[in-house]
């Protein structure tokens, strides 16, 4: 090694020592292997590594910037390689084709070391092995952070998909999941449970007279009043249009009637302010039903819905309870 002519090597000792992958590595211990390496300069956009190319080589960035991309259209960048760092080592170690594309994001000069040369260098230098281990551990940590971030964003998206964008109440997707869970719990422990359905009286007239934006404003204000009228354990949902549902866990029909009546009165006494500052009064009709041992989420809601329409058919601004098929009690 000591007889090597420095001018034949692609890197001087000083350049060698500045590269992170060669940190603390003795120059003389592996300098001879660099005779099989060379430096090239590439324009921005040039692809240096791709899954379509089985050539194994380590690319050390001397100047410029590289991007690792997981799609071929250059739109999905997962990491940026800065000067002094390298890419391509995984394919060398596991002898498989690359799983991503590496491209120059700007004009870049790189040191290209063949795969067989890197393996020989690792046998020659314990410190180089440690550097690669450190590099790989950093990349694993980075990948784990991406996974965690992606999982967090997926959870956020999933939760957002269960929220009604207008009223900020939960929507039908959340209803199916949470109502099913609550009904199963109530069946298993034989706990009391009532379902409530609520509908705005003459809502079409509000839309026809004041416009759909005014109608949306009414729905938003109604949702706020509904939340204020319920207990923390109650489960309100925007069922669709101007119709809302509420599951009342641990609730007997006597208490369900009290809650329904409180909601009805709160709606009746409030003044709803429209975007044009006009004021309107609204009333709601409410139906509720208790859980039976044979109920599904759908059948329990259907019973409450039948009671709701009984209330609407009998004067509106009323509360009705489902007794059994075809029979209701109007409060």
| pLDDT (tens digit per residue) in 15-24 | 898 898 899 9
- Contacts of 149 by beta carbon, 8 Å cutoff, 6+ apart: none
> Cα–Cα distances in Å, from 177 out to 70, 166, 226, 311?
35, 20, 21, 28
Q: What is the mean pLDDT of residues 130-148?
A: 80
The tens digit of pLDDT for each residue in 70-128 reads: 776 666 667 788 888 899 998 888 888 888 899 999 999 999 999 999 999 999 999 99
Nearest to residue 94, comparing CAs of 118, 70, 69? Answer: 118
> Domain 172-330: which topology?
Alpha-Beta Plaits (3.30.70)
Nearest to residue 230, comparing CAs of 211, 246, 207? Answer: 246
- Contacts of 323 by beta carbon, 8 Å cutoff, 6+ apart: 329
Architecture of domain 6-155: Sandwich (2.60)
Please report the sign of the dihedral spanned by the C-alpha atoms of residue 315, residue 320, residue 324, residue 325. positive
Per-residue pLDDT, 213: 94
Domain-wise residue ranges, the chain: 6-155, 172-330
Nearest-10 Cα torsion for 63, 9, 137, 109: 20
CA atoms within 13 A on the CB side of 17: 7
Q: What is the mean pLDDT of residues 128-151?
A: 80
pTM of the model: 0.59
Can you tell me the distance from the alpha carbon of 153 to that of 146, in angstroms, rounded to the nearest whole number? 10
- Residue pair 33/1 in contact (Cβ under 8 Å)? The answer is no
How high does pLDDT run on average in the chain? Answer: 89
Per-residue pLDDT, 157: 67
Per-residue pLDDT, 100: 86
Q: What is the mean pLDDT of residues 306-317?
A: 96
Per-residue pLDDT, 161: 76
Can you tell me the distance from the alpha carbon of 184 to that of 295, in angstroms, rounded to the nearest whole number? 10
For residues 201 and 160, the model is more confident at 201
Can you tell me the distance from the alpha carbon of 265 to that of 283, in angstroms, rounded to the nearest whole number? 8
Active-site residue (options: 83, 151, 242, 324): 242
The tens digit of pLDDT for each residue in 204-244 reads: 999 999 999 999 999 999 999 999 999 999 999 999 899 99
The length of the chain in residues reads 331
Q: What share of the chain has pLDDT > 70, as a percent?
A: 93
Q: Tell me the pLDDT band of 6, cut-offs 50, 70 and 90.
A: very low
Q: How far is CA 62 from the centre of its chain?
A: 38
Question: Is 242 tagged catalytic?
Answer: yes
């Amino acid at each position: 090694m000591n007889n090597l002519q420095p001018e034949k090597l692609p890197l001087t000792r000083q350049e060698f020592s500045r590269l992170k992958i060669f940190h603390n590595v003795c120059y003389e211990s592996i300098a001879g292997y660099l005779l099989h390496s060379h430096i090239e300069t590439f324009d921005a956009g040039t692809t240096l590594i791709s899954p379509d190319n089985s050539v194994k080589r380590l690319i050390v960035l001397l100047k410029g910037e590289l991007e690792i991309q997981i799609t071929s259209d250059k739109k999905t960048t997962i990491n940026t390689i800065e000067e002094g760092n390298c890419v391509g080592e995984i394919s060398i170690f596991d002898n498989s084709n690359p799983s991503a594309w590496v491209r120059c994001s700007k004009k870049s000069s790189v040191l290209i070391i063949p795969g067989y040369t890197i393996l020989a260098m690792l046998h020659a230098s314990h410190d180089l092995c440690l550097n690669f281990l450190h590099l790989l551990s950093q990349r694993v940590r980075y990948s784990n952070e991406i996974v965690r971030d992606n999982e967090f964003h997926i959870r956020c998206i999933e939760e957002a998909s269960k929220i009604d964008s207008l009223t900020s109440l939960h929507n039908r997707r959340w209803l199916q999941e949470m109502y099913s869970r609550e009904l199963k719990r109530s069946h298993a422990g034989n706990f009391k449970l009532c379902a409530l359905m609520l509908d705005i009286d003459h809502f079409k007239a509000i839309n026809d007279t004041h416009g759909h934006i005014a109608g949306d404003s009414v729905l938003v204000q109604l949702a706020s009043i509904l939340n204020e009228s319920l207990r923390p354990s109650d489960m309100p949902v925007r069922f669709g249009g101007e119709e809302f549902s509420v599951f009342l866990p641990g609730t007997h029909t006597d208490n369900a009637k009290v809650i329904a009546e409180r909601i009805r009165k709160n709606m009746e006494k409030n003044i709803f302010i429209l975007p044009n500052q006009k004021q309107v009064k609204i009333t709601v009709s409410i139906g509720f039903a208790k859980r039976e041992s044979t109920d599904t989420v759908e059948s329990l809601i259907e019973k409450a819905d039948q009671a709701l329409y009984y209330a609407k058919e009998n004067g509106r601004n009323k509360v009705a309870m489902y007794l059994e098929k075809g029979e209701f009690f109007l409060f």
